[in-house]
Structure 1
């Protein structure tokens, strides 16, 4: 992971002050119902004649498509993370199988040596040996050694059976992991198709618009984000937020800040591009603290914090399905990777529907 120069916290505050109420390219608005066919830019014959309400319906549909793509991206990332863990487990099992086979070979060799020794002695019973021996003490000594040999053979056979059982169990475990890996690959492929389908549909809607309509669409997006941010700030929430970043939180913020301007690519974890949770997970990894890969798992596994208690470095989870995440950097702003066609940017923390806040280093 390459090291990049980072801006100072003062610079971050300055950027926030300028952009917090009008951050370009913020992520999905809250999901809205799919518009009727009349919202298709070409359904009225020409995109030039689109009314404001029709364009707003197009914006809502595009937002929903990108939101659904974000959900599918989380599914894809989760399947990928699970596959990596399963692959690691299979490698460990393969090592156990190799070590177990080597142990089994050694035990079989020892068992063979014991059998050959018994063959050389002819397997004569102790009573017969006593009758044939003119030295009782020698018989007792031989009997003691024979007993020890019998115990050693019994122990050897027990170890041999255990080694065979271990190998069978390792093989069964490996087979189960391979099956899970195959099922995970299918889940991953299905999620990939879902992401691509949603993004292609959203981009197709935008492509149908004339240039001036796309500009109007972008303004509508900004207005929706500004209104949500203004409403959030109007609640007085910033008056209660005064937390200071932890040392690791500062490092995470510095990493995220250094990624500003890099493109959003679904499934990406850097260093050239990111999706939303790829950015936050890598930022915290750079601070020396690993966190879950997806926004949904970040919401499930990390400690929940009240909004009024959040501090720079904390993660804000968005939407009821935890499908988006951004990193709080102070002054009511976040850094996040919004969606396809956008870059890592600063946005208002309240410009989307907040589900809650989590703290990686709680």
Structure 2
């Protein structure tokens, strides 16, 4: 990674109050000195109350993230089911056209038999006085029998196909309706959790909000410091692939855009919407949700990760960010926040996956 990219990351992480630990692994975490912030007068008791608020907010937003993954998964399934229903409808139309053509052929064969007096070909041959005509007729009879059997078989198969299309379409409609209900339930839960979090924050005074933000920064900084103190950054030396560089370029270009649950850009994103669109822009489709990204993409050791890899967070894989190098990720954090750069170890890491393995 060039010095320009390193400068960009360092500057962004500085804004996130984490440049010290990102640039100098092993630096001890320190609480800001008294007088260094507007909330320096807050008491331990007040901070304890705010920590309880922070824990409550974390839980509310985590539950909203779980519901968002459920919503995104249901939406992805619904999109696939809708596409399958459209495809079945096309097959049904083509199958009906084919059936109509086969019925016309069967009708023409029946009309020809009627014109010959209704006698079977075998009887007509026996009445013939010309041996050659008999032999030619025998060949035509065999061909006709094979054609008739083939026509009947094709008619039967086409009718069976149409019946199966109708059965499949009915099943798809049921699945689609189930996923619509799942989406509605997830949407309701998301709104409920976010609304509760916003109401909780709205009850705080301005100075309390500032102090709460400071406590959040300190918690992230402490986690990042502990992660770097393990020496992990000394082992991470992987170089980005060509597509990985494209994905990183796309993701970092979205910095500053708002988080919105269920969004995939271009104006707003949720966490997996950002990572999936970044890789789609790089020409490589990946699963839509963080949980499916964790399930389906190749797992790699943290020490082997490279820019473009996805870092999956929390025990239930409900958050994801993209590693961009120098111990940092770019991610869409949560409602009320914007796409930003932060320390890769600032949240509990579940593991790392590689989209273009």
Match of 2:70 in 1: 75
Match of 2:91 in 1: 96
Separation in structure 1 between the aligned mates of residue 303 and residue 292 of structure 2, nearest angstrom: 22
CA contact (8 A) 1:265 1:273 kept: yes
Residue correspondence of structure 1 range 198-277 to structure 2 within 5 A = 198-277=193-272
| Alpha carbons of structure 1 residues 230 and 149: separation in structure 2 relative to 1, 3 Å | same
Q: Displacement of 1:91 after TM fit?
A: 1.2
Separation in structure 1 between the aligned mates of residue 104 and residue 217 of structure 2, nearest angstrom: 76
CA contact (8 A) 2:13 2:343 kept: no
Residue correspondence of structure 1 range 285-296 to structure 2 within 5 A = 285-296=280-291
| Alpha carbons of structure 1 residues 83 and 131: separation in structure 2 relative to 1, 3 Å | closer
| Alpha carbons of structure 1 residues 129 and 51: separation in structure 2 relative to 1, 3 Å | closer
**Greater RCO structure (CA 8 Å; 6+ sep):** 1
Match of 1:124 in 2: 119
Q: 2:108 aligns with which of 113, 121, 128?
A: 113
2:39 is equivalent to residue 15 of structure 1: no
Q: 2:310 aligns with which of 307, 312, 315?
A: 315
Secondary structure of 1:51's counterpart equals helix
**Cα deviations across residues 75-105 of structure 1 (Å, max 9, x unaligned)?**
0000001111111111111111111111100
TM-score of the superposition, structure 1-length normalised?
A: 0.87
CA contact (8 A) 2:88 2:169 kept: yes
Q: CA RMSD in A?
A: 2.1
Match of 1:180 in 2: 175
Secondary structure of 1:328's counterpart equals strand
Separation in structure 2 between the aligned mates of residue 125 and residue 253 of structure 1, nearest angstrom: 76
| Alpha carbons of structure 1 residues 278 and 93: separation in structure 2 relative to 1, 3 Å | same
Separation in structure 2 between the aligned mates of residue 176 and residue 296 of structure 1, nearest angstrom: 26
Unmatched 5+ residue regions in structure 1?
1-6, 24-47
Separation in structure 2 between the aligned mates of residue 60 and residue 199 of structure 1, nearest angstrom: 14
| Alpha carbons of structure 1 residues 255 and 131: separation in structure 2 relative to 1, 3 Å | closer
| Alpha carbons of structure 1 residues 110 and 204: separation in structure 2 relative to 1, 3 Å | same
CA contact (8 A) 1:130 1:136 kept: no
Secondary structure of 1:189's counterpart equals helix
CA contact (8 A) 1:20 1:332 kept: no
Q: Displacement of 1:20 after TM fit?
A: 6.3
Separation in structure 2 between the aligned mates of residue 127 and residue 250 of structure 1, nearest angstrom: 76
CA contact (8 A) 1:276 1:324 kept: yes
Secondary structure of 2:353's counterpart equals strand
How many residue pairs get matched?
332
Separation in structure 2 between the aligned mates of residue 128 and residue 258 of structure 1, nearest angstrom: 83
CA contact (8 A) 2:263 2:273 kept: yes
CA contact (8 A) 1:17 1:331 kept: no
Q: Displacement of 1:138 after TM fit?
A: 3.1
Q: Displacement of 1:148 after TM fit?
A: 2.3
